[in-house]
Amino acid sequence: MSNGNDRQVIRVERRYPILAIAALAAIFAFTSFALGYDQGQLFSIVVGDRAYEENFLHELFHDTRHALGFPCH
Binding to another protein by residue 41, rule CB under 8 A?
A: no
User: Could you give the CA distance from residue 65 to residue 38 in angstroms, rounded to a whole number?
Assistant: 10
Binding to another protein by residue 35, rule CB under 8 A?
A: yes
The only residue of 1, 19, 45, 46 in contact with another protein, by rule CB under 8 A: 19
**Cα 4 versus chain centre, distance:** 53
Helices (H), 17-61: 18-32, 41-47, 50-54, 56-60
Binding to another protein by residue 11, rule CB under 8 A?
A: no
Binding site for another protein (CB under 8 A): 12, 14-17, 19-21, 23-25, 27-28, 31-32, 34-35, 37, 39, 59-73
